[in-house]
Structure 1
Amino acid sequence: MANILYLGCDAHGSTSLHRAQALARLGHTISHHNPAAAATGFMGSSWLDPIHYRTGYRILQSPIRSWLSKIIDSIPKPDLVWVDSGEFFGPTAIAGLKGLACPILLYNVDDPTGHRDGRRFDSLLKALPLYDLVVVVRKETEAECLSLGAKQVMRVIRSYDEVAHQPFLNPTHIPTEFRSEVIFIGTWMRYEKRDEFLLHLLEQGLPLSIWGSRWKKSPHWAKLQIAYRGGSLSGRDYVAAIQGSKICLGLLSKGNRDLHTQRSLEVPFAAGLLCAERTTEHLEMYQEGKEAVFWADAKECASICHRLLLNDSLRENIRVAGQKRVLALQVGNENICRKILTHLRIG
């Protein structure tokens, strides 16, 4: 088993923590450190955070290097450095880790070579050639990282977590407040038009529930608020909302060039019925109409949902088949972490 220095970024919240926990469940010793700790006094305000985001965290590189130096001096020599997300780490930060004489891995499920997030990933992109392996989730990112000098790039499917997303063994234990007909769990994002899509579903008479942050910023908030149930969900509340719904919508980020998302795996694993946009990757994952349902636009989505809400047995058959399929795909965090470590011949 390996000693792993895990540098997990808060930008992905619990998903980063879940991967560290999955590595620990595989028997590895994890020294987990959050780079946000290096930015104490430099972040955490409504005006500083946007500045760092829009400048690719360049101003933070000096405190990040000092923070890494202290960590290196305080831990046993690792067999692997796992950098999760990586936007905080520029070339000098990663160069400082080279003295550990072990592989340095970048795992990023965003679209760092895309254009949606502006200059957020500037520091990361400059550091790409210093990583021994870069792990990404889309074909475009794989090709673009190689063109930017990455030594080796590995593409994986996103993942659910075997523990955090485990469904309730007894569905009757799901609290009433997390039960719904059709649900969307996610953030309002400018330019993504999620609000327009969901508004169309409401106008088609769909019994919709929305959970997530920033929805009051939508220009359509006055019409959407009737469906709004609350802020972002995590932990068992997140699982309860998925399992407690009859249909769970999966919306993509077009700005992030998504063809599948975390929800694409988490929803079926957590015993929900996935209803998502029809893409090549979704069709590779699930048999349409039998393991998940797909649509091309809001009109088709509304029609499918209305039909499923009237047919309990069909809905249950698809839900059960979808859960079996996602298990067969072997894309839990433990599966993906094991695959990466095997590729690196570690552990």
Structure 2
Amino acid sequence: MEILYLGDNSKTSTSFHRASALSRLGHNVNIYSPKDCINENMKSMLGNLFHYRTGYRFLQKKIVKWLTDILSKTPKPDLIWVNSGELLGVDCLKKLKELGCPVVLYNNDDPTGGRDKGRFYSLLKAIPYYDLIAVMREINIAEYKALGAKKVMQVMMSYDEVLHKPFSNIDDIPPQFKSDVAFIGTWMRFEKRDEFILTLINKGINVSIWGGRWPKSKYWNQLKPHYKGGALGGKDYIAAIQGAKICLGLLSKGNRDLYTRRSLEIPFIGGLFCAERTSTHMDMYAEGEEAVFWSSAEECAEVCLNLLNNDNLREQIRKGGREKVLKLKGGNEDICKKIIDNI
């Protein structure tokens, strides 16, 4: 199948690896990033913030012109796959629909949840023009249909079968990535991740933190000794998860998350997944056998202390999680095939 893929094409992005999964399934994928045509408009912090808050509505003419140009030199597709879609408004979708093939939207954010203010203005206006929309949360289904969506399906967030392949020999993991308890993620205002981790530290747990924006935390002085560096990618990301005795999975309440990509990536890579006790997490994994859960920072601390003192139990749960995540079929190839079969 000839697929026109519109999404971030930087090789570190999840979008790029989803396109790669489509290629591995045997499709011919032409990937273009709408961001390429608006780089000039997004160079300054002010410009970036303005267009983010106004849902990119003032860039639509420029993006339509860019689309017209790439469509003129791209083989006629059998399918158009839009990843994220926040930059494409109604006129962009009308242009794509001229090609006479199905247009799919895959978005793992929560555009109808309101956390990101005006960011998804253009996307939400364009919802009725998609032939199929893949969402990650059950709550999104009715909300998209209320906006005029023709067809909505729920899929899991996914790991990538190639990008997230674990080290075959754990001795190859560099020592700087070995830890007792690891958290890999961004500091986010109002999410209280810093307070949560500080509670664990005060309970005597040695937490290693990787991710962006942590110096913004008001608890930075206490967290700084546990901070190991910025955002991780590639083999470093694998090493930090596989090299930890326990890996924390923290949710974004603003995004109405009941699970995240980490919920699948951590067990697939071979980490022991330790996360909030939600209905989705409990549907995915057997508690105490395939993952461990908690309902508060205090309970998380107790769980971690118990596991850190029990090597055999940790290994048993880690292996159980790895076996279960493979049964869930939550890889990029699995999810892409499911979407294409649906359309």
Classify the TM-score, shorter chain: over 0.9
Measure how far apart 1:239 and its partner are: 0.6
Q: How does 1:63-102 map to 2 (within 5 A)?
A: 63-102=62-101
Aligned partners of 1:10 and 1:36 also within 8 Å: no
Of stretches 291-300 and 33-42 in structure 1, the one that deviates more from structure 2 is 33-42
**Equivalent residue of 1:47, what SS?**
helix
Aligned AA (2:26): G
Measure how far apart 1:58 and its partner are: 0.8
Cα 1:11–1:57 shift into 2, 3 Å? farther
Q: Deviations over 1:214-242 (max 9, x none)?
A: 00111111111111000000111101100
- Find out whether 1:258 has 2:260 as its counterpart: no
> TM-score under structure 2 normalisation?
0.99
For 2:236 and 2:44, the matched residues in 1 are separated by 28
For 1:142 and 1:192, the matched residues in 2 are separated by 25
For 1:226 and 1:272, the matched residues in 2 are separated by 23
**Number of residues paired by the alignment?**
343
RMSD of equivalent CA atoms: 1.1
The answer for unaligned runs of 5 or more in structure 2 is none
Q: Deviations over 1:260-292 (max 9, x none)?
A: 000000000000000000000000000000000
Give 2:298's aligned residue: 299
Q: How does 1:182-197 map to 2 (within 5 A)?
A: 182-197=181-196
Q: How does 1:187-226 map to 2 (within 5 A)?
A: 187-226=186-225
Measure how far apart 1:192 and its partner are: 0.6
Of stretches 183-192 and 2-11 in structure 1, the one that deviates more from structure 2 is 2-11
Give 2:35's aligned residue: 36
For 1:10 and 1:42, the matched residues in 2 are separated by 18
Aligned partners of 1:12 and 1:85 also within 8 Å: no
Measure how far apart 1:43 and its partner are: 1.0
Give 2:241's aligned residue: 242
Aligned partners of 2:238 and 2:269 also within 8 Å: yes
Aligned partners of 1:9 and 1:86 also within 8 Å: no
Measure how far apart 1:63 and its partner are: 1.1
Measure how far apart 1:60 and its partner are: 1.2
Aligned partners of 2:9 and 2:32 also within 8 Å: no
Aligned AA (2:16): L
Aligned AA (1:222): N
Aligned partners of 1:201 and 1:298 also within 8 Å: yes
Measure how far apart 1:65 and its partner are: 0.4
Q: What is the identity percentage for the equivalent residue pairs of Structure 1 and Structure 2? A: 57
Give 2:156's aligned residue: 157
**Equivalent residue of 1:41, what SS?**
helix
Aligned AA (1:286): Y
Q: How does 1:1-347 map to 2 (within 5 A)?
A: 2-9=1-8, 14-344=13-343
Q: Deviations over 1:163-201 (max 9, x none)?
A: 000000011001111111100000000111111111111
Please list every run of at least 4 consecutive aligned residues from structure 1 whose deviation after the TM superposition is greater than 4 angstroms.
10-13
For 2:212 and 2:6, the matched residues in 1 are separated by 26
Aligned AA (1:270): I
Measure how far apart 1:142 and its partner are: 1.2
Aligned AA (1:225): K
